[in-house]
């Protein structure tokens, strides 16, 4: 079981927590993995501030399943592991997706929360790589 952290988590750098009313803010982080994430691994991207209402998310990954492919990723938080992406195939061939889950669109956090990821299904032929998450939100 491995835990992979982005620089945002390691360096405890924050994401924007406020600004002009209604201003769209952005959180962005890349997690580098020494092997394809497995179902027992955790990816920690960044912490969204209390009051953040998520508008859009973009998930991108390198090819971390070089044969098969079977690797799928979930992106969410401690309340729902797949709040934003459920069984995403972006790491099967190095693609990106904006197909945010319905439950995640417009979701509002009441407290500062770490956005995490994990594999829903393991890779057939795992390879090292990276997963990048960008989230757009407003703070209410």
Asked whether the beta carbons of 76 and 59 are under 8 A apart, the reply is no
Q: Quick one: pLDDT at residue 1?
A: 83
Question: Per residue of the chain (140 residues), what is the pLDDT tens digit?
Answer: 899 989 888 887 767 666 666 789 999 999 999 999 999 999 999 999 999 999 999 999 999 999 879 999 999 999 999 999 999 999 999 999 999 999 999 999 999 999 999 999 999 999 999 999 999 999 98
d(CA 75, CA 59): 9
Helix residue spans in 59-139 (DSSP H): 90-93
């Amino acid at each position: 079981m491995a835990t992979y952290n982005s620089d945002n988590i390691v360096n405890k750098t924050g994401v924007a927590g406020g600004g002009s009313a209604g201003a769209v803010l952005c959180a962005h982080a890349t997690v580098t993995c020494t092997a394809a994430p497995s179902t027992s691994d955790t990816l920690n991207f960044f912490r969204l501030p209390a009051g953040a209402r998520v508008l859009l998310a973009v998930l991108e990954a390198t090819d971390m399943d070089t044969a098969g492919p079977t690797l799928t990723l979930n992106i969410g938080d401690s309340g729902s592991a797949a709040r934003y992406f459920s069984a995403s195939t972006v790491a099967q061939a190095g693609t990106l997706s904006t197909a945010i889950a319905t439950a995640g669109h417009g979701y509002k956090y009441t407290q500062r929360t770490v956005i995490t990821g994990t594999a829903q299904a393991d890779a057939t032929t795992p390879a090292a790589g990276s997963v990048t998450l960008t989230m757009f939100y407003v703070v209410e």
